[in-house]
């Protein structure tokens, strides 16, 4: 399945503001098929483990706090060239720099509350998808 799927999170603030539907609609309009989807509230330990790659970054603790501040939606998205195309659809990490028509331009409010996560490589798409979904829950 390499290259054919990516993983996303709709982050707590975007969920709280009622943007699940609009964001899933943008994803769908862009040609992604939803292969797995659920809503959950991360524990601190889970959030720390998910963002372990950023352990040394100065924003790590704030990021973990933010990600456990409310429920999130996680999903596996399927499409040719999924990782790269989804990074284009979400836009820059900093919403102030995000391009017009991107999810972050429309729905993000700050660097940490930037609406969505998107995998940055095929390997991470695999790791992140299996973090949340057993293979029996990916369709
Ligand atoms: P992206 O989500 O675009 O792949 P990174 O992987 O670099 O960005 O960072 C992971 C997450 O950490 C970002 O989505 C954002 O929520 C947060 N983050 C990144 N850089 C900063 C920063 N300088 N200050 C606060 N939060 C940050
Ligand atoms: Mg990243």
Summarised one tens digit per residue, pLDDT across range 35-80 is 999 999 999 999 999 999 999 999 999 999 999 999 999 999 999 9
Domain boundaries, the chain: 5-137
How many whole angstroms separate alpha carbon 128 and alpha carbon 36? 12
Say if CB 26 and CB 89 are below 8 A apart. Answer: yes
Of 47, 51, 117, 128, the active-site residue reads 117
Q: Structure pTM? A: 0.97
Assigned CATH topology for domain 5-137? Alpha-Beta Plaits (3.30.70)
Q: Does residue 32 carry a pLDDT above 60?
A: yes
pLDDT number for residue 103: 98
Residue identified by tokens 């729905």 is: 107
Alpha-helix runs per DSSP H in 1-139: 12-16, 20-29, 44-50, 60-67, 82-90, 103-107, 122-132
How many other β-carbons are positioned within 10 Å of the β-carbon of residue 19?
Answer: 22
CA 28–ligand 2 middle distance (angstroms): 21
How many whole angstroms separate alpha carbon 124 and alpha carbon 120? 7
CA 54–ligand 2 middle distance (angstroms): 9
Residue 54 bears catalytic tag: no
């Amino acid at each position: 399945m390499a290259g054919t799927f990516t993983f996303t999170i709709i982050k707590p603030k975007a969920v709280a503001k009622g943007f699940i539907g609009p964001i899933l609609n943008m994803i769908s309009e862009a040609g992604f098929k939803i292969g797995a989807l659920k809503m959950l509230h991360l524990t601190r330990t889970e959030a720390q483990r998910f963002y372990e790659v950023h352990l040394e970054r100065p924003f790590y603790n704030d990021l973990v706090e933010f990600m456990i501040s409310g429920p999130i939606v996680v999903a596996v998205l399927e499409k040719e060239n999924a990782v790269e195309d989804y990074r284009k659809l979400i836009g820059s990490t900093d919403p102030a720099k995000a391009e017009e028509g991107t999810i972050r331009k429309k729905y993000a409010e700050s660097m940490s509350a930037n609406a969505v996560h998107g995998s940055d490589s095929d390997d991470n798409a695999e790791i992140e998808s299996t973090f949340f979904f057993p293979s029996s829950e990916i369709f």
